[in-house]
Structure 1
Amino acid sequence: MSVQTGKAPPDGRVPTRPLKGGAAPPGGRAPRVKAGLPYLMLLPALAATAVFLGYPMVQNVILSFQNLNMTQLIQHVTEWTGFGNYQDVLGSEEFWRVTLRSVIFTAVNVVTIMVGGTLTGLLLARLGPKMRLLLSIALVLAWAMPIIAATTVYRWLFAQRFGVVNWVLAELGFDSMADYNWTGSQLSTFFVISLLITWTSIPFVAINLYAATTTISRELYEAAALDGAGAWKSFTSVTYPFLKPFLLVATFLEVIWIFKALPHVFAINEGGPDRLTETLPVYAFVEGVGNQHYGTGAAISMLTILILLALMSYYLRIVLRQEDLDEGEDQK
């Protein structure tokens, strides 16, 4: 048993008595709990991701190494093919034609959406309160409409005999368009699909870009006006630098969403005519479910993911580099 003399130790620290049972002092556990709290809050989301995304992904990978069709399903037989499905798909000219078509389709739609969304967002920033509210409601309604419902509306608008578009064009003097079949050729079908995708995607870009413009100080525009900057110069020197991080992220998301778009393309004409409007997701669905080659469809879907990651790797580096530059400027 030690005797306390009341004198402080040579280093000047005041001795503390240990807690009963060897417990840590009150200040020891709180920092550890506080540091681990964010990870605990992420557990539900991680668990849901593992169940609803991770498990189907693992099953799809396993399926891609099998020869599975209705015969195997009925007989409950598992036939492993190794990389046979991947070799067959990569050796097919049709796969590479669909891949090129998907890349061009994605590039055209992303450019159209980003330009249209940027212009609409800047318009929102310049409108008065009432007109801004009306336009915002219209954008939200277009954005919130279910994809299949929107596709049904577009199929009705561009119907060959009773479509509103053909009727309007005929009334304007284009008599040859009275019975025009918009889904009868590759280009016209892609035009309808692209119009549908653009209509449903512009609201996301426009509303978020308008929200970003509200963070720009009006004093910067006043200073640019005093320096003699016009509308274009004001946009390039003031607006664009603030919006650049958002535009990079929005473009990144739009590339992903459009490249993997399935219902827009399939519901318009099921990849027709003559499978000339199939993109990679539609191609995987038709081969896997439509033709009942489930292993081949799984292999195509996995290759689609790999191709998308390869296309986005360079762009992702640009986004990350931009974030590092922004953090460096904030620290300065």
Structure 2
Amino acid sequence: MAPALLSMAVLLLYPLVRNVILSFQQLNRKEFITRETVWIGFDNYTELLGDPDFWSVVVRSIVFTAVNVALIMAIGTGIGLLLNRLGKKMRLVLSLALMFAWAMPIVASVTVFRWLFDEQFGVVNWLMRTLGFEGYEQHNWFETGFSTLVIIMILLVWGSIPFVALNMYAALTTIGSELYEAAKMDGASGWRTFWAVVFPNLKSFFMITTFLEIIWIFKAFAQVYAMNQGGPDRGSETLPVFAYIEGVGQFHYGVAAAISILTIVMLIAVMSFYFRLILKQEEEL
């Protein structure tokens, strides 16, 4: 285990410690150029915790994560169930389509979505006009932070569904066919079979997958920033983008470090909740 622990210490622990140290410093443009170290204690944290803009981004990030994870788990579970019922040929076709979506590079997928929602040449505006809707002549889908976040949400859901669906299908293969036969003999509907047979047997899968999706969506940076740089008017910023813009964009590196530490604390709080549930379930087994 020593090589793995050493590599984790170098790649994860050291940057984390350096980040904590930076969060207690004033490191703006002046200090960055002069290489001056100015210790200010908890001032960066108190400034953030008293900043209404910070709390707006926190609430936006939490709501954005919750909606994304709910959609990803619901649609991914549905497609996983579909894969379990399809024949071999159609299952292979759908699995390949899911793999292609999952393997697509982030920047390439963002470029495709920006083209789909383009103001002048976008497919979505053309489709809306074709369906008879008015007001979609050069409609700007990135005009507000809300609409920008909706597009990013569609992108994240589209890119995350394959992970849930393929793992769901793999997990379903562990459930014995006799359980389905017993439910069918009892006259259980599809929904009843899911809640009485599938969900209890795959509770660990749902908990761990939901836990992973919360982490991945909450810390999603590339999709949010590449789509519209957190705009317009910083209206689509989530916490990782907020930290990046404060640091690299505004040269407030100490504040950016404090934002990242607070983000980690929020994730740890969520992780502790899920770890307690997982440990409780293991004790019951």
Instruction: Give the TM-score normalised by the residue count of structure 1.
Output: 0.84
- Which residue number in structure 1 is paired with residue 162 of structure 2? 203
Residue 142 of structure 2 corresponds to 183
Deviation at 1:155, TM superposition (A): 0.7
- Choose 267-276 or 317-326, whichever is displaced more: 317-326
Q: Which residue of 2 aligns with 1:134?
A: 93
Does 2:234 match 1:288?
no
Deviations 1:96-153 (A, max 9, x none): 1111111111111110000000001000000000000010011111111111111111
Q: Offset at 1:214?
A: 0.5
SS in 2 for 1:215: coil
Q: Measure the CA separation in 2 of the matches of 1:315 and 1:215.
A: 23
Partner of 1:95: 54
CA displacement at 1:178 relative to structure 2 = 2.8
Select 1:64's aligned residue among 7, 17, 23: 23
The separation in 2 between residues aligned to 1:81 and 1:307, in whole angstroms, is 23
**Residue in structure 2 matched with residue 242 of structure 1 by the alignment:** 201
After superposition, residues 1-332 of structure 1 pair within 5 angstroms as 42-326=1-285
| Aligned position for 1:33 | none
* Alpha-carbon distance in structure 2 between the residues aligned to 1:325 and 1:204: 28
- 2:146 touches 2:235 (CA, 8 Å); kept in 1? no
Q: Kindly state the Cα deviation for residue 224 of structure 1 after the two structures are TM-superposed.
A: 1.5
Shift of 1:228: 1.8
In structure 1, what is the Cα distance between the partners aligned to 2:99 and 2:2? 32
Alignment check: 8 A CA contact 1:213 1:239 kept: yes
Write out per-residue CA displacement over residues 201-239 of structure 1, whole angstroms, 9 at most, x where no aligned residue: 010000001000011111111112112222222212111
Q: Which amino acid aligns with 2:61?
A: S
CA distance in 2: counterparts of 1:255 and 1:81, whole angstroms: 33
Question: Which letter does structure 1 place at the counterpart of 2:263?
Answer: T
Query: Does the CA contact (< 8 Å) of 1:110 and 1:255 recur in 2?
Result: yes
Of the structure 1 ranges 226-235 and 252-261, higher mean CA displacement relative to structure 2 is found in 226-235
Cα drift, residue 173 of structure 1: 1.5
What SS does the aligned partner of 1:222 have?
helix
Instruction: Tell me the distance in 1 between the aligned counterparts of 2:71 and 2:225.
Output: 21
- Cα pair 2:102 2:160 within 8 Å, conserved: yes
Q: Bigger shift: 73-82 or 298-307?
A: 73-82
How far 1:314 sits from its partner (Å)?
Answer: 2.2
Give the Å deviation of 1:70: 2.1
Which structure is higher in RCO with an 8 Å CA cutoff and minimum separation 6? 2
Q: Which runs of 5+ in 1 are unaligned?
A: 1-41, 327-332
Q: Deviations over 1:281-327 (max 9, x none)?
A: 1111111111001011001110111122223332331122112222x
Shift of residue 186, structure 1, vs aligned partner: 2.2
User: Partners in 2 of 1:316 and 1:276 — Cα distance?
Assistant: 33
Q: Report the Cα distance in structure 2 between the residues aligned to 1:151 and 1:323, rounded to whole angstroms.
A: 40
Identity value in percent: 57
Aligned-partner SS, 2:135: helix
Task: Give yes or no for contact 1:118–1:209 (8 Å, CA) kept in 2.
Answer: yes
Question: What is the aligned length?
Answer: 285
Q: Is the 8 A contact 1:252 1:316 kept in 2?
A: no
Please tell me the residue identity of whatever aligns with 1:243: L
Structure 2 unaligned blocks of 5 or more:
none
TM-score normalised by length of structure 2: 0.97
Structure 2 distance, partners of 1:172, 1:320, is 51
